[in-house]
Chain A
Amino acid sequence: MPAPDPDYRENCDRAIYVASEITQDLVDRITPELNRLRLSSPDPITLYIDSQGGGISAAETIRQLATAPNPDGQCCRLITVVTGRAASAAADLLALGDYAIAYNHAQIVYHGSRTPAGTALTYEGAASLASNLQQTNEFFSVRLARHAFPRLVLRLTQFNKEFNEYRAQTQPPVAAGVQPLIKALAKKLDPENSRMLRRAQTRQKVIGELTASVGRHLRRFKDTSSMSDARFEAELLKAVLSHKVRTHATEANWNLSRGGLDEVRDDFNILHDFHFGTQKRDLARWLGSYGSLFLKDDERAEYTELVKQKPEDRKAHVDWLKPKSEPKIQPLWYLTVSVCRLLQSEDFVLSPSEAYWLGIVDEVPGTDLANLRQMVEAMKPGPPQQPDLPVSAAPK
């Protein structure tokens, strides 16, 4: 018999309402109550959201304040609930909750950072503004992806057939291996929104082809680790250039001076980002938490035995998982980052179930979508069932 777990449940007795534009005024209004809740108990704080968005720094202040440590170093969990609409900065605030809930009728709207231009812009001013916006988008994309990935893994493991095939691969080719999972996920989205997955899919395909091609080029060198960074990147670039020239060999009109060089640059950036970008540093954490889900049948038995023998030795677990699971986690992590980059750069209106399948929220109450709360509560047995319970039957 499960027991309710307050870490995964909204609680209107310890709640704050973000029901207007997110501005510094709103922060000023809710700060006293947030502090009272935070300092009176380390229990979770629920943030109810119905907002068109507003300032990203004001939204960030609310999130950081709600989760700031008390004098004893304890932090409250943040449970976010969209009750109507969460757009722009409010959508980010929703997704960044430790547990995020979307009411069944809610609407979640994403778009990239926007800034009023103010005065007439010069070329230099516009370039600097564009660069700042791109950096802001990138920061928020990777952060959103860090919250979406654990949810997305639990979604993908629900696609039994596709996920079993994926983890059964010995060395999943980056492109081909992920396609069935992306297709299964795309079926859960409105056709208009599934374009983000098609775009991410194309990116994965490019990465797969480039990785194979560049890998062949790099095998000529005995030891790439002794190369300087500049030399290594130069070899990457040479390999990408050769790959592009080969790919377009039959196209009479393709050449570097008419757009080809831009393609080479884009492909170099995609490849470098996938293998060496900032998101790579998160892989170790995902490996420790979710690596075991990606093991093949025989590996799983061996891993279970290892955990039994060394239950506390996390490092031993991660070291064992790394060669087996990392090649399968990385494409999915990169897919998540790609999807979050698109969410932060274009307009997408998501229904609660779409937000669920994309890892933006954990739970949509009133639906049959499997959620983490029910799984955690099933692991937390309550008192034994009494024979004279009023209306009940034992669970399956």
Chain B
Amino acid sequence: MAKPDVTEPAPADECRESEKVDKVINVIVSEFEGDTSRFFESIRPKEDEVWRVKSKDEMVAVRKVAGAHGG
């Protein structure tokens, strides 16, 4: 199917992308063969741990407390 080439850019402000997302995509592609789940598994803390914010620049893996939820 040829003919019309409708490739004028979409409005730029409607979906602001970020260099941070580009970095994530590059790592998923170059180190995890494009597999998002594998990348995500690689950054999860151990099963009985969750990440907690320690300071504005730092997170630590801490043991889950019974009844608490972790991301």
Q: Give chain A's interface residues, CB within 8 Å of chain B.
A: 1-7, 67, 75, 77, 98, 143, 146-147, 150, 154, 157-158, 160, 163-164, 167, 211, 214-215, 218, 224-225, 227, 229, 232, 275-278, 280-285, 289-290, 292-295, 297, 300, 303-304, 307, 363, 365-367, 370-372, 374-380, 382-383, 385, 389, 391-396
* Max count, chain A CB within 10 A of own CB: residue among B4, B7, B23: B4
Q: Please tell me which one of the listed residues B8, B22, B40, B61 contacts residue A393 in the complex, with CB atoms under 8 A apart.
A: B61
Contact of A382 among B1, B37, B58 (CB under 8 A): B58
Q: How far is the CB of A155 from chain B (nearest CB, A)?
A: 8
Residues of the A chain whose Cβ atoms lie less than 8 Å from the Cβ of B18? 7
CA of A4 to CA of B22, assembled, Å: 18
Q: Are B43 and A375 neighbours in the complex by a CB distance under 8 Å? A: yes
- Chain B residues close to A by CB (< 8 Å): 1-4, 6-10, 13-18, 20-30, 33-46, 49, 51, 53, 56-63, 69-71
Interface of B is mostly: mixed
CB distance from B24 to the nearest CB of A (A): 5
Contact between chains at B29 and A281 (CB < 8 Å) = no
Residues of A within 8 A of B27 (CB): 379
Residues A150 and B21 in contact in the complex (CB < 8 Å), given A1-B60, A2-B43 = yes
Shortest B45–chain A CB gap in Å is: 5
Closest chain B residue to A363, Cβ basis? B71
CA distance A275 to B9 in the complex (A): 16
| Chain B residue with Cβ nearest A378 | B43
**Contacts of A5 on B, CB cut-off 8 Å?**
20
11 intermolecular pairs with C-beta atoms under 8 Å apart: A150-B21, A167-B34, A276-B4, A289-B21, A289-B25, A292-B34, A297-B33, A307-B26, A370-B37, A391-B60, A395-B45
Chain A proximity of B12: nearest CB distance (Å): 9
**Which of A75, A285, A295 contacts B34 (CB under 8 A)?**
A295
* CA gap between A203 and B20 in the complex, in Å: 35
| A393 and B35 form a contact (CB under 8 A) | no
Q: Are A160 and B21 in contact (CB under 8 A)?
A: no
Contact partners of B45 in chain A: CB under 8 A? 393, 395-396
Contact of A379 among B10, B15, B20 (CB under 8 A): B20
Q: Are B46 and A396 in contact (CB under 8 A)?
A: yes
Min C-beta distance of A167 to chain B, whole Å: 7
- Are B29 and A366 touching (Cβ within 8 A)? no
* Min C-beta distance of B21 to chain A, whole Å: 7
Q: What A residues does B69 contact at CB under 8 A?
A: 365-366
B6 touches A276 (CB 8 A): yes
Q: Are B59 and A377 in contact (CB under 8 A)?
A: yes
Cβ contacts under 8 Å, A167 to chain B: 34
Chain A to chain B: the 9 pairs with minimum beta-carbon distance, closest first = A378-B43, A366-B69, A370-B40, A157-B36, A382-B58, A280-B6, A146-B15, A292-B29, A282-B10
List the B residue with the shortest CB-CB distance to A284: B7
Give B64 Cβ to nearest chain A Cβ, in Å: 11
Q: Which of B8, B35, B39 contacts A375 (CB 8 A)?
A: B39
Given A215-B1, A379-B20, 17 additional A-B pairs, CB 8 A: A1-B58, A1-B59, A4-B56, A4-B59, A150-B17, A157-B36, A158-B37, A167-B34, A218-B1, A281-B10, A366-B71, A370-B36, A377-B59, A380-B20, A392-B60, A393-B61, A395-B46
